[in-house]
Amino acid sequence: CNICIEFCPEKVYEESDTLNKRGVYVPVPENEDKCKKCKICTLFCPDQAIAVDENG
């Protein structure tokens, strides 16, 4: 749905060019080094499909 792409203040996510099993272009973390672990992506993800690794 790309909500994480829209709301991530650090622009960590980009749209994938590969369809998943449901026929959706799933966002992928392309700039993980920019992640500040604010968890805005997890807050807005309607499918709860994102987990932020606190240790990595």
User: What is the total count of domains within the chain?
Assistant: 1
Give per-residue pLDDT as tens, 11-39: 999 999 999 998 989 999 999 999 999 99
* Assigned domain for 51 exists: no
* Assigned domain for 37 exists: yes
Phi, psi of 18 (to 5 degrees): -120, 130
* Assigned domain for 54 exists: no
User: Structural domain of residue 10, as residue ranges?
Assistant: 3-44
* Assigned domain for 16 exists: yes
* Assigned domain for 49 exists: no
* Assigned domain for 24 exists: yes
**Which pLDDT belongs to residue 56?**
64
* Assigned domain for 53 exists: no
Where residue 11 falls (left for φ over 0; alpha for ψ -120 to 50; beta otherwise) is left
